[in-house]
Structure 1
Amino acid sequence: MEGLRQLEALCERLYNSQDSVERAHAENTLKCFSVNIEYISQCQYILDNAVTPYALMLASSSLLKQVTDHSLALQLRLDIRSYLINYLATRGPELQPFVTASLIQLLCRLTKFGWFDDDRFREVVKESMNFLNQATSDHYAIGLKILSQLVSEMNQPNPGLPSTHHRRVACSFRDQSLFQIFQISLTSLRQLETNVASRLQELALSLSLKCLSFDFVGTSIDESSEEFGTVQIPSAWRSVLEDPSTLQVFFDYYAITKAPLSKEALECLVRLASVRRSLFTNDAARSKFLAHLMTGTKEILQTGQGLADHDNYHEYCRLLGRFRVNYQLSELVNVEGYSDWIRLVAEFTLKSLQSWKWASSSVYYLLGLWSRLVTSVPYLKGDAPSLLDEFVPKITEGFITSRFNSVQDGSPDDLSENPLDNVELLQDQLDCFPYLCRFQYESSSLYIINIVEPILQIYTERARVQTSDNSDLSVIEAKLAWIVHIVAAILKIKQCTGCSAESQEVLDAELSARILQLINVTDSGVHSQRYGEISKQRLDRAILTFFQHFRKSYVGDQAMHSSKLYARLSELLGLHDHLLMLNAIVGKIATNLKCYTESEEVIGHTLSLFLELASGYMTGKLLLKLDTVKFIVANHTREHFPFLEEYRCSRSRTTFYYTIGWLIFMEDSPVKFKSSMDPLLQVFINLESTPDSMFRTDAVKYALIGLMRDLRGIAMATNSRRTYGLLFDWLYPAHMPLLLKGILHWSDTPEVTTPLLKFMAEFVLNKAQRLTFDSSSPNGILLFREVSKLIVAYGSRILSLPNVADIYAFKYKGIWISLTILTRGETMNLLFLVTVMWV
């Protein structure tokens, strides 16, 4: 007994001590219980005789690890299983909840691992029923917990079990036991409905939810995602799902419980609303199920019960969102009470939009519902009215008004809180909203124009007025940014069914004209001094998004310019074809590259658009005709583009020169290539003339980093023997010694060596067979001789340097890139040469 008391003291320190050394000592001492099979009997002794819950927890968790990690004898596992069931029946009610949970997990793990080994393992559901039939609520709770943990255990892969075996067990459990467990949960819910504020209600609801969330077909749903597809409930469940009392019990529980129980009831309803179409006996049964869902959701909207709780509110929006996924508009309109339901949903949506700050993450589901409804209108048959003509324009206007209200409330400049900076949320909402605009496009476009014109007029006037207080400009720019994002999203879906009509193209032109007018104002007068303001940067990012979507719809390889759109733009702005439009886009790109020096987001977004234009075959050819592009290609220096001098934007340099490389090589002119490389040649000359004694200065460091990133961009743009040969001949042999010099002097500085090695990794990559030299050419040998010098110089120095805290950035990353270079060298059958030279 003295030994047991000492063990209990150790367990107390293991789970409660604040001293990490003391905890580690206790863990190391007690490790034998979970590792050595001989200690299994000792664990049972502890469970029988220990007093403290921590000792019981040690025994239970040790047995769990033993069962998971070791292949125990069948009889031993059966003995442990019988012992656990008796133990939970006799001592379960008096144990601490965490001990009970651990013992139940152990029982379920034994059941799963032994499912195919002996039929007795499959009797766990029957034995759980024995707990449910006991008189005490404590035993009833243990029975529900066993079933709940069993469903979870069967649904989740285990490290000690091959995935194929896990799936076999899960499928067998699904077919033999899961339906029975779901029926038990429903029976329990009905029996406990009058048992107000009972812990058992929560356990029964949780059990139902786990049954409905089971991975029925082995799709391994991503738990981090809030969205899921159709729930593939087995056909054997049909009678229970078609029984109206099944749906009703969850609506009843939502009504009689408070959060978080009410949220779980809604989660069950979300999954029931997602049941596959083919489960139902016929269309009549499915229509009856849908009518019940609509009636239940309508009653919640009428009373508003529980929707003041944020979790309930969000889950209810998800429930409404399932109507768009699983049901057609034609089905909805034929349900009795549809008109009342759609009116209430519209009112709810408008209130949600007004409460933008509180409901921002939930609005996505509502907009998704409405977008699905309006896109189904062309396929709607019959005389039943959809009433969408009445409600959708209000929702469209409500969304825009709510965005303006979010600006008026003075949203903080914190990137994590401003809706314009929450990229994922912005994309979610603007993916659905344009379909609502296109539904009644004439009225919605007129509404947008009437809103934007007064704001644009004020913004234009403010460009001419110099004042010390420009705080109101931030609000104006935020409103304009929302409008630009909305118009961009409308243009994005131009190619969808029903959006390509000539009348819609004219309206596209009307909206685009207002945005183009805005662009002419953003970089003039007072506004040309505001590039450091966050609100100005948000507006310019929105403009870049507009250009991206406009290009895909009305400029480029697949989407030839539309006569209707350009005819109207010609009348409004004099832009009669897509070459003039392209010139306007490139003009904005050039302005951003000249004026933004510190905003990585704007520079990165601008260069992304520039690369899209240059890499398109048609748009690339058109760019070469523009004077602005000719200027950029000939004058890519920090004097003209100050962002090149800003270290924070140095990563963008690779994209910048990748784009320039695309444009240079498109012209197929060696003379043009050499003249375009003059700015980089000047950097080479300056660095090569720097004496060794001055080579460890910050000026040299940042010049090297920038040069390597620039060269990597140019190298990425070479996609043929011809273009690669131009770069190779320009670099070798004149400038290769500088790379070796950089490695020799800066081998202890990853900021320099990483870009240098990345350039070399790109330079030796044989993509598109660009490194295929003539059979009489020694260039392959010469290239890898230079590469081997670099690798040897870097490897011999970096391996001898002492380790630092961030060893990955300091050593491992450079070593990884070096090995990448060697791997790519193998494609040239010269790996052996490089390796020998390294050795």
Structure 2
Amino acid sequence: MLGTFVLRYIYQNPDSQPFIITAQAQLFAIITKLGWLENEEFRALVDQIQVFFQPGNPIAYRIIGARILTAVATEMNLPSARHATKYRKIAVSFRDAQLLPIFQFALSTLKSLLQASDAESEKLRESILQLMKMCLGFDFIGTLPDESSDDVGSIQAMTTWRIVLEEPEYLDVLWECWKKFSGATSVLAMESLSQAASIRRSLFSSDETRNTYIHHIMRETSLTIKSQAGQAKLQDVGNFHEFCRMLSKFRSTFQLSEICEYKEFEQWISLIGEFSSRGLHSWKWSPNSIPYLLTFWSKMVSSISSAKQATQDYIQGITVDLSRAYLKSRLECAQAVLDGEVDDPLESEEELVTTLEMYATLSRSKYVDSGRFVLAEFKDIFKKYRELIQRASLGSPSLSGNDIKEQLTVVEMQLTWMVYMISALIGGRISYQSTGEQDQMDAELSSEVLGFIQQAQMWTTQRPLYLASPDAHLYVQSAILFFYTQFRSSYIGEESSKSVKVYTLLTERWGLTGPNQVLDVIMNSSLGNLRSSGDPEWRKQEDQLVVRTLRLYTQLASGYSSVKHIRKLDTTKALLKNHNPSDFRFLDPSKKSSDTSVARCRMNYYTMLSRVLFAEDNVDADFWRFVRPWELTLDQVTLAFEGTSDLTEEQIRLILLGIFKDLRGFVSSITNRKQYTLFFDWFYPAYTPIVVRAIEIWPHDELGIAILRFWHEFVSNKSSRVTFDSSSPNGILLFRETSNILYTYGQNLLNRPLSNSSARWTEKYKGIMLYFNVLSASLSGKYVNFGVFKLYGDKALDQALEVFFSLMLAIPVEDIIAFPKLANAYFSVIDVFASDHMTGLPMMPHPVLAYIFQALGEIIPPQNPDTICSTMACSAMDKICTFVLNWILKDKVRKEEGLEALQAASGSPDLTGRTLLTSAGSGNNSQRSSVELTRGALSSNGRPVSKHRQQQQQKQQETHWLVEYLMANKDILSYLFLALFQAVAFENRSNYWSLSRPLLGLILLNRDFYNEYINGFIQSQLPDRQEHVQTAVNALMEGIECNTTTLNRDRFTQNITNFRRECTQMTLMTSNGLSDDSGML
């Protein structure tokens, strides 16, 4: 066997280079995994590796053996996108049969190494600890998608592991290893202890056993913190970090009520508090450990209500000190960042907010005491800030420009931290738990922050340029925006009327009597963030500030009550009247940004304004005032196109690029018919010629992309907003314009050469994707009767579909699959097209049909987390199969009626007609003859019929082109069936219900192939499994009739579910049903 050969090679060459041994170990692991279910020898893993641990062998062999076992455990734990069910089955088998013996072997080996001190033993200890870490880190129940999940949840070890984990020896060995080992090996031992601290609670056989385990860990952590030896070990940054991580995981796994049962709990929690306080004060030494300490204490506090009152008071007393320590550490951080000692945590607001949420939970435990300290610190720093501003304004001779700038920057950063922390405290309010004292503290803190905001705004407009810092400005303003966000979440909303104490104090100090006045402050103070200084050095920071400000505005505009008040503010009214000021740099289309969030600011801005504008019911006059600037600009463009304007081509292009981004954002938030009709009546038909003309002139440019994106939003019937009166032709006219735009743009795409294949997305596929999106939205909008175009000879639909087919054929199928956005657009439009439009066409080109069916089949096998494409493909397949099957069934009924009429008229004996369903595998001629079997001029009751009725009957009896195509190309049905059957039956898909829906139609349309495939599939299995597979397969079509009724479909889906369950219990060989070619699934 190949595995034995590899193992022998490793054993005979122990002196090989480490990378060679590592590669050989990985090879052995892969071979073992592939053969695990097929041969018993592969499952005797521990026995095979035992040769490396024979008495008398050098330690080097034992190190290699440990590394091989680690490689196998690692390989077994790796997920697989393809054949996920099979490989998960292998992992489960390995887990049940070998993982525990390997862990037990590693633990006993580690115990024997406690007294060894030579260098080789040190390497072996490290290898053994790595092996143990891999064993406990195994994905026991298949729920960990990646390594990032390591700090989330508990270790779901099987109940069989009780025999090891419940024994005191397990923890004793790990703690002893940590105490005796040094360096990296010591850190590995602490990592193992972190895993031990996160063993699932339900593993233990009894409450007593679990409590013993918990108390063992608590006792050892107390000894570690108290003893000099333990303190010495924790001076190593790696050990300190892992110890903090162990505490966090311990508290996340076990309940506070269980922890409190420890007889020396108060001493233990006091020691942890002292240790945490030292860690927070020494934050520079191990900054990454701080989140683990905060996690431990935030979880302690979050469940404190379940503890006794004395315990609650004791823990709350500790949290006040820790809250102070963390606040001090953040103030020190401001100076350390300026000195270049540490990275700036303010650069990543997302990570910062996560940490601050835990700080808020911790501090609000005893909020009055913690809040007073925060308030006092804020007042002291704010006082320094005002003094520095005064000295800078007066030009103090005792300080140079650089000195005062440095001091101001440090104080501003400290105030930034204070505002962030105060905001988190306010945002951490839980309405049903909050007391009057806590609301009073929120009011005092908010009042101080509002004072700082006022001072900061005044200083921003007055300070000399040499004292300004773009980073400091960004951080200060971001903290202020965060304060507004958190205050809004806690005190602006439906529950705001209950927060009387907050607004009482704010009324006394700032005249803010309620939420509406606070919203006024928010809009007035933050509007300046949208303006640009024009300084290139400030551009990056100002762009980020615009993004964050618009994010706040979007939240405000999304609230039902807040948007109605914002609509009434003078600031908002002025913005609606002049929504394109020159100092809003993000509205300048010539100023491009590679940052996607910055590039979308213009659209987000007008989305927000649209929501605000339509917050009231009667807004007709306001709407026409709002669009007036756009009218003036578009009229200028129209004149330019007519040759009567001084605008250059580039100016026109930039103007239109900006306007269509604005319009896209504006239309995207329109949610009802009245709003949409207002916009439609303004835009159509006055400005649609501009769209077509711009597409003709700049099809290669980003302007073409912007226009199509706007048009996609314009024609999308979200919330049934595109609804016209029954006598209105607007729906038809809208599609005619859509067709004109698509035809113009599509023809250019077809004639556009590619500069190189690597640029095909930007130069071609991106535009095709948008073409598909617009067509999909138009075809599914339900505001157009597409039959009108055929009735009156209008080519609008035909030309749109003609270009659609040509664009489709211009893309290799593999590229459709390779580009996710393109695939999503393509299968979306195919799903819509298959609903009604496909079968209504008089004919489709066969290359197009072949392409569609090939793409539908090829999207099924790839297992992607995003299952949207395969779901839409299956929906399209189901619609096509349902149509064909229903047509054949109706045709069969018509033939039977015709035969009965002939028999009744001639008195001839019963004739047997062949139908398409019973002529599987026959050629096209036999199919056509079966369809044309009876073409008489008699009705079903044998009476003569009129010539018009004869023509109508003859037309009904003609074979539909789609039916004819599929019956003549049954290999397509076979191809689709194979792709779906294998995915549904043998792969772990989240959308297997959708995948199963087209299978019924594919089987009924191609029953002969299904029987042939199933027979081959059964014969390809191992002899001892064939009977079981036969039983499962027979049940698949049990109770299934030859129709597509909902009841029949549901019954088939249930059968598929049962069949799939049976298949997961076996390892099966898959067959194509036509040849001996087979492979493992």
In the TM superposition, residue 225 of structure 1 has moved relative to its aligned partner by 4.1
In the TM superposition, residue 83 of structure 1 has moved relative to its aligned partner by 3.1
1:722 corresponds to which residue?
Answer: 674
Q: 1:405 and 1:729, CA in 2 relative to 1: closer, same or farther beyond 3 A? A: same
Gaps of 5+ in 2: 396-400, 787-796, 807-1081
Answering whether residue 631 of structure 2 is matched by residue 681 of structure 1, we say yes
Answering whether residue 392 of structure 2 is matched by residue 443 of structure 1, we say no
Larger Cα-atom Rg: 2
| CA–CA distance in structure 2, aligned partners of residues 698 and 417 of structure 1 | 44
3-state SS of 1:116 partner? coil
Answering whether residue 453 of structure 2 is matched by residue 510 of structure 1, we say no
| CA–CA distance in structure 1, aligned partners of residues 72 and 460 of structure 2 | 67
In the TM superposition, residue 233 of structure 1 has moved relative to its aligned partner by 1.2
Q: 1:412 and 1:120, CA in 2 relative to 1: closer, same or farther beyond 3 A? A: same
| CA–CA distance in structure 2, aligned partners of residues 385 and 713 of structure 1 | 52
| CA–CA distance in structure 2, aligned partners of residues 503 and 559 of structure 1 | 16
Is 653-662 or 249-258 further displaced after alignment? 249-258
AA in 1 matched with 2:18: P
| CA–CA distance in structure 1, aligned partners of residues 800 and 440 of structure 2 | 63
Answer whether contact 2:337 2:344 (CA < 8 A) is retained. Answer: no
3-state SS of 1:93 partner? coil
Alignment of 1:798-817 (within 5 A): 798-799=749-750, 800-804=752-756, 806-817=759-770
Is 437-446 or 95-104 further displaced after alignment? 95-104
Q: 1:435 and 1:220, CA in 2 relative to 1: closer, same or farther beyond 3 A? A: closer
Alignment of 1:258-297 (within 5 A): 258-297=182-221
3-state SS of 1:361 partner? helix
1:30 corresponds to which residue?
Answer: none
Answering whether residue 488 of structure 2 is matched by residue 537 of structure 1, we say no
1:204 corresponds to which residue?
Answer: 128
Deviations 1:28-53 (A, max 9, x none): xxxxxxxxxxxxxxxxxxxxxxxxxx
| CA–CA distance in structure 2, aligned partners of residues 373 and 818 of structure 1 | 55
3-state SS of 2:183 partner? coil
Deviations 1:317-361 (A, max 9, x none): 110111321223333333244344333322332232233334222
Answer whether contact 2:337 2:343 (CA < 8 A) is retained. Answer: no
3-state SS of 1:815 partner? helix
Answering whether residue 161 of structure 2 is matched by residue 237 of structure 1, we say yes
Answer whether contact 1:634 1:675 (CA < 8 A) is retained. Answer: yes
Is 313-322 or 301-310 further displaced after alignment? 301-310
Q: 1:497 and 1:155, CA in 2 relative to 1: closer, same or farther beyond 3 A? A: farther
Q: Alignment RMSD, CA only?
A: 2.6
1:490 corresponds to which residue?
Answer: 425
1:43 corresponds to which residue?
Answer: none
In the TM superposition, residue 525 of structure 1 has moved relative to its aligned partner by 4.2
3-state SS of 1:135 partner? coil
Alignment of 1:38-117 (within 5 A): 79-89=1-11, 91-117=12-38
Work out which of the residue numbers 593, 604, 608 in structure 2 matches 1:659.
608
| CA–CA distance in structure 1, aligned partners of residues 232 and 648 of structure 2 | 70
Alignment of 1:19-418 (within 5 A): 79-89=1-11, 91-136=12-57, 137-158=59-80, 162-196=83-117, 197=119, 198=121, 199-302=123-226, 303-381=230-308, 387-411=314-338, 417-418=343-344
Answering whether residue 738 of structure 2 is matched by residue 787 of structure 1, we say yes
In the TM superposition, residue 647 of structure 1 has moved relative to its aligned partner by 4.5
Q: 1:806 and 1:311, CA in 2 relative to 1: closer, same or farther beyond 3 A? A: farther
In the TM superposition, residue 505 of structure 1 has moved relative to its aligned partner by 0.9
Deviations 1:120-142 (A, max 9, x none): 22112212123212421233233
| CA–CA distance in structure 2, aligned partners of residues 436 and 390 of structure 1 | 11
Answering whether residue 774 of structure 2 is matched by residue 821 of structure 1, we say yes
Q: 1:278 and 1:607, CA in 2 relative to 1: closer, same or farther beyond 3 A? A: same
2:529 corresponds to which residue?
Answer: 592
Q: 1:384 and 1:569, CA in 2 relative to 1: closer, same or farther beyond 3 A? A: closer
| CA–CA distance in structure 1, aligned partners of residues 128 and 642 of structure 2 | 77
In the TM superposition, residue 102 of structure 1 has moved relative to its aligned partner by 2.9
Deviations 1:347-400 (A, max 9, x none): 332232233334222201101111111233222127667632432211111111
Deviations 1:268-293 (A, max 9, x none): 11111111112223222222212221
2:864 corresponds to which residue?
Answer: none
2:902 corresponds to which residue?
Answer: none
Q: 1:330 and 1:502, CA in 2 relative to 1: closer, same or farther beyond 3 A? A: same
Deviations 1:440-477 (A, max 9, x none): 21122111221112332343455565355533322222
Answer whether contact 2:553 2:608 (CA < 8 A) is retained. Answer: yes
Answering whether residue 578 of structure 2 is matched by residue 635 of structure 1, we say yes
Answer whether contact 1:661 1:718 (CA < 8 A) is retained. Answer: yes
AA in 2 matched with 1:375: S
Q: 1:537 and 1:84, CA in 2 relative to 1: closer, same or farther beyond 3 A? A: closer
| CA–CA distance in structure 2, aligned partners of residues 691 and 833 of structure 1 | 26
Answer whether contact 2:103 2:132 (CA < 8 A) is retained. Answer: yes
Work out which of the residue numbers 432, 443, 457 in structure 2 matches 1:523.
457
1:765 corresponds to which residue?
Answer: 716
Answer whether contact 1:108 1:146 (CA < 8 A) is retained. Answer: yes
Q: 1:117 and 1:788, CA in 2 relative to 1: closer, same or farther beyond 3 A? A: same
Q: 1:785 and 1:306, CA in 2 relative to 1: closer, same or farther beyond 3 A? A: farther
1:21 corresponds to which residue?
Answer: none
Return the TM-score normalized by structure 2: 0.66
Percent identity, aligned pairs only, is 32
Q: 1:140 and 1:295, CA in 2 relative to 1: closer, same or farther beyond 3 A? A: same
Is 551-560 or 689-698 further displaced after alignment? 689-698
In the TM superposition, residue 513 of structure 1 has moved relative to its aligned partner by 0.7
After TM superposition, what 4+ stretches of structure 1 lie above 6 angstroms from structure 2?
Answer: 692-696
Is 690-699 or 802-811 further displaced after alignment? 690-699
Work out which of the residue numbers 328, 348, 363 in structure 2 matches 1:422.
348
Q: 1:204 and 1:509, CA in 2 relative to 1: closer, same or farther beyond 3 A? A: same
Q: 1:242 and 1:742, CA in 2 relative to 1: closer, same or farther beyond 3 A? A: same
In the TM superposition, residue 768 of structure 1 has moved relative to its aligned partner by 0.5
Instruction: Name which structure has the greater RCO, CA cutoff 8 Å, separation 6+.
Output: 2
1:11 corresponds to which residue?
Answer: none
| CA–CA distance in structure 1, aligned partners of residues 322 and 385 of structure 2 | 27
Deviations 1:814-835 (A, max 9, x none): 2222221122122036665622
Answer whether contact 1:132 1:144 (CA < 8 A) is retained. Answer: no
3-state SS of 2:147 partner? coil
In the TM superposition, residue 707 of structure 1 has moved relative to its aligned partner by 1.1
3-state SS of 1:220 partner? coil
Gaps of 5+ in 1: 1-78
Q: 1:526 and 1:432, CA in 2 relative to 1: closer, same or farther beyond 3 A? A: closer
2:662 corresponds to which residue?
Answer: 710
3-state SS of 1:440 partner? helix
In the TM superposition, residue 216 of structure 1 has moved relative to its aligned partner by 0.9
Q: 1:739 and 1:311, CA in 2 relative to 1: closer, same or farther beyond 3 A? A: farther
Q: 1:642 and 1:385, CA in 2 relative to 1: closer, same or farther beyond 3 A? A: closer
Deviations 1:51-95 (A, max 9, x none): xxxxxxxxxxxxxxxxxxxxxxxxxxxx32343344444x14243
AA in 1 matched with 2:566: L
In the TM superposition, residue 408 of structure 1 has moved relative to its aligned partner by 2.0
Answer whether contact 1:333 1:385 (CA < 8 A) is retained. Answer: no
AA in 2 matched with 1:419: P
In the TM superposition, residue 402 of structure 1 has moved relative to its aligned partner by 1.0
| CA–CA distance in structure 1, aligned partners of residues 642 and 174 of structure 2 | 78
In the TM superposition, residue 489 of structure 1 has moved relative to its aligned partner by 0.7
Count of aligned residue pairs for this structure pair: 756
1:834 corresponds to which residue?
Answer: 800
3-state SS of 1:387 partner? helix
1:44 corresponds to which residue?
Answer: none
Answer whether contact 2:244 2:293 (CA < 8 A) is retained. Answer: yes
2:910 corresponds to which residue?
Answer: none
Answer whether contact 2:607 2:666 (CA < 8 A) is retained. Answer: yes
| CA–CA distance in structure 2, aligned partners of residues 349 and 273 of structure 1 | 18
